[in-house]
Amino acid sequence: MGFSWILGEDLTLDLGTSNTLIYSKRKDGKIMEPSVVAVDLNNYEIVAVGEKAKNMEGKTPDNIITLAPIKGGKIINFEIAQVMLTNLLKKAKSSFSVFHPKVHIAISSGISEVDRRAIEDCVIYSGARSIEFIPSAVASAIGMGLPALEPSGSIVANIGGGTVDVSLVSLGGVVASKFVDIGGDSIDYDIINIVKNKYDLMIDKETAEFIKINLSSFITSNITNSLSIFGRDINSGMPRNATIYGKDITSSLFPLFNAVADAIKVILEKTPPSMTGNVLRNGIFLTGGCSKINGCVEYLQNELRIAINISENPLTCTCEGASILVNNMKAKNNRRKK
């Protein structure tokens, strides 16, 4: 029994707009790569996948383009997604395993049956023996150490690159959920427009993301902070640098976080009275890359008048939680067999 993993190991997968994660217990760690593939249009060959492809964005000749096959947890380019997942599964799969792995996929409650089928087919064609879906909200809650398998009730808000998913979880399932098609990418595009209109400078998405990570903040004392960036002057067409101030990009944060606040309000209204006490005592739990934006906790607390908590590992807790759940289920089944 100790060598059963040779016949097929278990991997957990979190498909994200910005990043895709795979957790492999046998390789004792996570593989996290940007959800990007670079393609040569001259011969339609794959040039790079993941981090290497992302580093090429905005720096390639005309014949090479970078494609993002995942949007809001959905596959929008099947062939490119298959290439990306095949590459990642090969990295994660143990070299000693004889058969293809079983892949447990964390999936949002907002994904339709058609999109679920597309994900299932794509993962199977990419090298999985079989697949199983796990509610991403439950996985996130477990990854944050919350009692998601108990009858307590926890509200988890996942603020990703392409979507917001707010769910009330209890007893290993989703009691209520609200899915919104907006995410961190919207901040990037707003920053591009702000820099264009305010500073007469064209920047790419990578630079906008850099500004978002290093300068964006809800905290008043931080909006005087600045950052020097490079771009192309709109008027002259020449490259130049500019100093960007935090106060000018704060407005880019409001559409996303107002959507988060509205989604949380919807779930609070749907929370059964029996769970209200636990939710009010424990607060709301944030995960996803945009939960790291400076001051978002204070902003949401002010909007909702309820405690807001952030995951210690917002980028990886969903995949880690899914892995914990799978391992616990396997251990439980093994005990039953004995």
Residue stretches of the annotated binding site for ATP: 161-163, 209-212
Look at residue 181 and give its three-state secondary structure. coil
Contact 301, 307 (CB under 8 A): yes
Indicate the helix (H) or strand (E) that contains 74.
Answer: strand 74-75
3-state helix, strand, coil in the chain (%, to 5): 45, 30, 30
Say how many C-beta atoms besides its own lie within 10 A of residue 126's C-beta. Answer: 20
Amino acid letter for position 282: N
State the burial class of residue 115 (Cβ atoms within 10 Å of its Cβ: 0-12, 13-18, 19+): middle
The C-alpha atoms of residue 34 and residue 82 are separated, in whole angstroms, by: 14
Q: Count Cα atoms within 13 angstroms, Cβ side, for 307.
A: 11
Q: Output the six-digit token pair for 62.
A: 């005309």
Phi/psi at 139 (5° precision): -60, -45
Q: Count Cα atoms within 13 angstroms, Cβ side, for 331.
A: 6
Residue ranges at the known binding site: 161-163, 209-212
Residue spans of alpha helices (H) in the chain? 51-56, 78-92, 113-125, 136-143, 184-199, 205-214, 246-249, 254-270, 273-282, 296-304, 317-337
Burial 152-179 (b: 16+ CB within 10 A, else e): bbbbbbbbbbbbbbbbbbbeeebbbbbb
Contacts with 8 (C-beta within 8 Å, 6 or more apart), sequence order: 97, 98, 99, 100, 101, 102, 129
Q: Output the six-digit token pair for 154.
A: 């926890």
